[in-house]
Amino acid sequence: DQQVKQNSPSLSVQEGRISILNCDYTNSMFDYFLWYKKYPAEGPTFLISISSIKDKNEDGRFTVFLNKSAKHLSLHIVPSQPGDSAVYFCAASAATSGTYKYIFGTGTRLKVLA
């Protein structure tokens, strides 16, 4: 039962353009969502998060959008840079249900072409 889904295994974008990574979830109890970036042989690095009481959160080049009715979130990276090339994971938790574990998607490999 895949509660968090990233349906695009890979994405290629030209440097300077926008990268849009998508994530869908099925559990309506999820109330906190995060994006992590992962390089090979390293642990995931926290990028940005959003609480279910918001629909947008911005941090520099990174913006996360949450559409609760569609159970969909997306990460926008503008402008994309070659150093952004990595695997991106979305994660969700249902903290108000008393559990703090994260459920992760399977990841999207982003390649930013110079």
Partner 1 sequence: DTGVSQDPRHKITKRGQNVTFRCDPISEHNRLYWYRQTLGQGPEFLTYFQNEAQLEKSRLLSDRFSAERPKGSFSTLEIQRTEQGDSAMYLCASSFTLSTTDTQYFGPGTRLTVL
> Does 14 help bind partner 1 (rule: CB under 8 A)?
no
Would you say 14 or 97 has its CB closer to partner 1?
Answer: 97
25 is an interface residue for partner 1 by CB under 8 A: no
Nearest approach, Cβ of residue 44 and partner 1 (Å):
5
What number of chain residues touch partner 1 (CB under 8 A)?
27
The smaller minimum CB distance to partner 1, of residues 80 and 89, is found at: 89
Q: Does 89 bind partner 1 (CB under 8 A)?
A: yes
Rounded CA-CA distance 2/21 in Å is 18
100 alpha carbon, distance to own chain's centre: 18
Sheet of 4-5: strand order equals 4-5, 19-25, 72-77, 62-67, 56-59
Residue 79: count other Cβ atoms within 10 Å of its Cβ: 14
State yes or no: residue 8 binds partner 1 (CB under 8 A).
no
